[in-house]
């Protein structure tokens, strides 16, 4: 071969390589716009003063993070393109065709769809290409989705069923987040984070959550993080492998390994500080060999005013060697499962030293919920109370139980591990001389040693804990007082005033309080020692400016409690 031909071939190959490398998603969108949009948005008098006939960079700068001129769209807080937020991107609303996605319908004040009739609208796969670009952060020079995947999904009859929709809460009760869709090719496995700014200016509480997602889901985690940490993260989907520190930097709210609702116990709530940002974490795999999966999550968040709950519900996930992270060790260090199929057992004692800066409080925890997490080689996961010598004591979680923790099914279901709830909350000393011991078992039949990793071909060992720092009052009629205290609440129901009476035969410590059914304390009568005698108080919801309804009167005498429900009727 001549030197000329060699270098010519090299140059041609380089040109092909560069052309392929520059085939970014926005370039495909730009080419679509040149064909279908510049008829109106080009020439001497482009509609809306938006000329999309310029260069790629010029068109990008006209779209991304630019305020719309339409007053209706501007009033909704839309940008023409809001990176990471398709629903807040006016361009996507304008491009949406009928029967594509009802979330992107136009109101009269928003103007007509583009291109306007009788011109042809963008095809569904073209509109989806725009949505995927925005969802992934609207990058200029990155390919975020293979157009062939969208063609297979929309035009080649290769779409798998996705999750059903979830009706959103009434705006007076909370809000809904829709995460997705993003698309998985046959056999593909992904795990993404996505920060979601709510633009909340005041702190609030969350007392109930509900989630729907794909049956192929491995897990969905809902985190919160402060605004300064969130500001360091890019907009749009981010791959878990590129941001592994997010799991530790974030504060967990709740975790699902199977979809469904759960309501926190009365008197408790998660707390979200003003300005905090939610961080969504979704892991799933497309197990089909030929079809495309659209991944969706619907999250209903039910809220109440800050200060309503008596106790904050804390939620944490605890990986093996959790405290090693604070010593600079890698996440999951120590998890090593040899090949060969022999059973491998990992046992770890968790307790929290009482020193400033500890990531969790030492002392007593009141456990509401326990669950566990491994990948496909996990065969059992048990949790015990630790005795004073740091050895296994009473077992409080059996991994062989079914998802609802109602019976022992004889095996550990790693895809849907058991969730155990405690009522009343389980009191545990998590400080010196206490704690819990978690123990996981694995059988690795592959040809390679397995370590901690994010895919289901790797392994994990972690547990989920929900707890408060104080015991919650009962919302039922509870009585551990002796009959000699003669605790009475009458009349019940009442119309104007309710009488509260009790008797002490000796000097005792007394706490008398009234709560509403959300767990908010509405009256505080006694909190201290009282001498022997008969005592009477009166309660009137109306006199305290409270609404008509049901309340809980709780009397505690030397730590023993009784609770009565009362109803005011006008």
3-state secondary structure 191-236: EEEEEECCCCCCCEEEEEEEEEECCCEEEEEEEEECHHHHHCCCCC
Region 447-468 average pLDDT: 95
Region 346-366 average pLDDT: 90
With cut-offs at 50, 70 and 90, classify the pLDDT of residue 219: very high
What's residue 3's pLDDT? 37
Of 493, 481, 396, give the one whose Cα is nearest residue 438: 396
Strand order in the sheet with 378-386: 343-350, 436-443, 378-386, 392-397
What's residue 2's pLDDT? 41
Where do the structural domains in the chain lie, given as residue ranges? 3-154, 158-307, 313-472, 478-567
The residue that leads in pLDDT, 417 or 96, is 417
What is Dmax (Cα atoms) for the chain?
113
What's residue 519's pLDDT? 73
Please classify residue 301 by burial: count the beta carbons closer than 10 Å to its beta carbon, then call 0-12 exposed, 13-18 middle and 19+ buried.
buried
Give the CATH number of domain 478-567; options: 3.40.50.720, 2.60.40.1930, 2.130.10.30, 3.40.50.2000.
Answer: 2.60.40.1930
Task: Determine how many CB atoms are found less than 10 A away from the CB of residue 157.
Answer: 8
Give yes or no on whether 158-307 and 478-567 have one common fold: no
Task: Determine how many CB atoms are found less than 10 A away from the CB of residue 14.
Answer: 10
Top CATH class of 313-472 equals: mainly beta
- The CA R_g of the chain, rounded to the nearest whole Å, is 29
Residue 8 has pLDDT above 60, yes or no: no
Of 265, 269, 276, give the one whose Cα is nearest residue 301: 269
Region 379-399 average pLDDT: 96
Residue 261 contacts by C-beta under 8 Å, 6 or more apart in sequence?
A: 208, 209, 210, 211, 300
Cβ–Cβ < 8 Å for 457, 349: no
What's residue 509's pLDDT? 94
Q: What is the CATH number of domain 158-307?
A: 2.60.120.230
What's residue 284's pLDDT? 95
What's residue 19's pLDDT? 37
Residue 279 has pLDDT above 80, yes or no: yes
What's residue 475's pLDDT? 56
Residue 424 has pLDDT above 80, yes or no: yes
Please classify residue 565 by burial: count the beta carbons closer than 10 Å to its beta carbon, then call 0-12 exposed, 13-18 middle and 19+ buried.
middle
Residue 16 has pLDDT above 80, yes or no: no
Task: Determine how many CB atoms are found less than 10 A away from the CB of residue 29.
Answer: 23
Tell me the whole-structure pTM to 2 decimals: 0.80
Of 301, 291, 300, 299, give the one whose Cα is nearest residue 162: 291
Q: How confident is the prediction for the chain on average, in pLDDT? A: 90
Dig out the tokens for 527 from the structure.
Answer: 């909190």
Cβ–Cβ < 8 Å for 88, 78: yes
């Amino acid at each position: 071969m001549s030197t000329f031909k060699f270098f010519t071939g090299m140059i041609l190959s380089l040109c092909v390589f560069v052309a392929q490398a520059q085939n970014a998603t926005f370039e495909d969108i730009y080419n679509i716009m040149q064909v279908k949009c510049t008829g109106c948005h080009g020439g001497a008098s482009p509609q809306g003063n938006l000329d999309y006939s310029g260069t790629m960079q010029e068109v990008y700068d006209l779209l991304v993070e630019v305020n719309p001129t339409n007053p209706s769209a501007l009033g909704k807080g839309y940008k023409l393109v809001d990176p990471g937020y398709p629903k807040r991107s006016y361009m996507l609303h304008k491009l949406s065709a009928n029967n594509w996605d009802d979330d992107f319908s136009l109101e009269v004040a928003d103007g007509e769809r583009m291109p306007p009739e009788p011109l042809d609208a963008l095809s569904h796969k073209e509109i989806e290409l725009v949505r995927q670009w925005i969802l992934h952060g609207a990058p200029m020079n990155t390919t975020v989705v293979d157009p062939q995947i969208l063609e297979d999904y929309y035009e080649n009859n290769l779409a798998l069923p996705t999750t059903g929709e979830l009706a959103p809460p009434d705006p007076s009760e909370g809000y809904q987040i829709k995460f997705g869709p993003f698309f998985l090719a046959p056999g593909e496995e992904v795990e993404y984070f996505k920060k979601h700014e709510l633009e909340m200016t005041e702190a609030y509480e969350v007392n109930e959550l509900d989630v729907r997602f794909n049956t192929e889901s491995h897990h969905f985690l809902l985190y919160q993080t402060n605004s300064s940490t969130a500001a360091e993260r890019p907009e749009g989907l981010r791959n878990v492998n590129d941001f592994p520190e997010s799991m530790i930097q974030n504060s967990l709210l709740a975790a699902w390994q199977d979809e469904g609702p759960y309501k926190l116990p009365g008197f408790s709530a998660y707390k979200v500080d003003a300005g905090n940002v939610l961080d969504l974490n979704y892991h799933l795999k497309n197990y089909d060999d030929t079809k495309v999966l659209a991944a969706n999550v619907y999250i209903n968040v039910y809220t109440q005013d800050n200060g309503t709950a008596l106790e904050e519900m804390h939620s944490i996930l605890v990986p093996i060697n959790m405290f090693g992270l604070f010593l600079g060790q890698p996440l999951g260090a120590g998890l090593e499962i040899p090949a060969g199929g022999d059973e491998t057992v990992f046992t770890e004692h968790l307790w929290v030293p009482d020193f400033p800066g500890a990531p969790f409080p030492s002392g007593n925890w009141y456990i509401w919920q326990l669950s566990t997490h491994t990948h496909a080689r996990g065969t059992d996961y048990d949790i015990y109370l630790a005795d004073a010598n740091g050895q296994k004591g009473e077992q409080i979680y059996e991994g062989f139980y079914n998802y609802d923790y109602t019976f022992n099914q004889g095996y550990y279901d790693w895809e849907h591990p058991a969730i155990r709830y405690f009522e009343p909350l389980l009191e545990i000393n998590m400080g010196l001389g206490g704690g819990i011991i978690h123990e996981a078992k694995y059988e690795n039949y592959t040809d390679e040693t397995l370590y901690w990793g994010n895919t289901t071909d790797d392994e994990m060992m972690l547990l989920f804990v929900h707890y408060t720092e104080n015991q919650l009052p009962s919302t039922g009629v509870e009585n551990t007082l002796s009959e000699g205290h003669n605790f009475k609440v009458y009349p019940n129901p009442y119309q104007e005033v309710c009488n509260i009476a009790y008797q002490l035969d000796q000097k005792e410590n007394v706490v008398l309080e009234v709560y509403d059914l959300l767990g908010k304390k509405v009256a505080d009568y006694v909190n201290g020692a009282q001498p022997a005698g008969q005592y009477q108080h009166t309660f009137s919801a109306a006199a305290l400016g409270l609404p008509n309804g049901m309340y809980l009167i709780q009397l505690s005498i030397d730590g023993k409690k009784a609770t009565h429900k009362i109803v005011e009727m006008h």
